[in-house]
Amino acid sequence: MKILEHTASAISYSLFDELSNGNYCDSQKIACGRFVSEQIGAMPDYLRFAFCLLSFAISIFSILTSGCRLHRLSPENRARVIALWLKIPFVAPEFILAFKTLTAFYICAIIKDDGSLI
């Protein structure tokens, strides 16, 4: 399950950067990665298994396109791999959309009344 945790954190970090427009501290990004991993861990087995398979697939895709697993890439290269992954039809965009939804839930939960992040 480590591959799922590493990949989930890497994807959520990239999506957190994208959705929060850089208005955050690193501890919030790490907490977001934990939140996403916990949500996936709480899913029924059949969904968690699908996430595990797709996490393995995006890790292989990352190795093929950049020579390194997704969680070991720089933020810029990780964003590039995710953008390439989104161009694959069928399951790939929905997989990232699921992560984007979980990341957006976390961001909405930590927004203050004035619109800034806690």
Is 118 a domain residue? no
Would you place residue 118 in the very low, low, confident or very high pLDDT band (cuts 50, 70, 90)?
Answer: low
Q: What angle do CA 5, 39, 90 make, to 5 degrees?
A: 75
State how far the Cα of 1 lies from the Cα of 41, in Å rounded to an integer. 10
State how far the Cα of 99 lies from the Cα of 87, in Å rounded to an integer. 16
Is 115 a domain residue? no
Is 104 a domain residue? yes
Residue 19: which domain range? 2-110
State how far the Cα of 105 lies from the Cα of 118, in Å rounded to an integer. 14
Residue 114 phi/psi, 5-degree rounding, is -85, 5
Is 25 a domain residue? yes
**Which has more confidence, 71 or 117?**
71
| pTM (two decimals) | 0.83
State how far the Cα of 79 lies from the Cα of 73, in Å rounded to an integer. 9
Would you place residue 18 in the very low, low, confident or very high pLDDT band (cuts 50, 70, 90)?
Answer: confident
| Count of structural domains within the chain | 1
Note the pLDDT tens digit of each residue in 74-86: 989 999 999 999 8
Task: Return the pLDDT at 44.
Answer: 95
Is 87 a domain residue? yes
Is 116 a domain residue? no
Is 29 a domain residue? yes
State how far the Cα of 12 lies from the Cα of 64, in Å rounded to an integer. 21
Is 52 a domain residue? yes
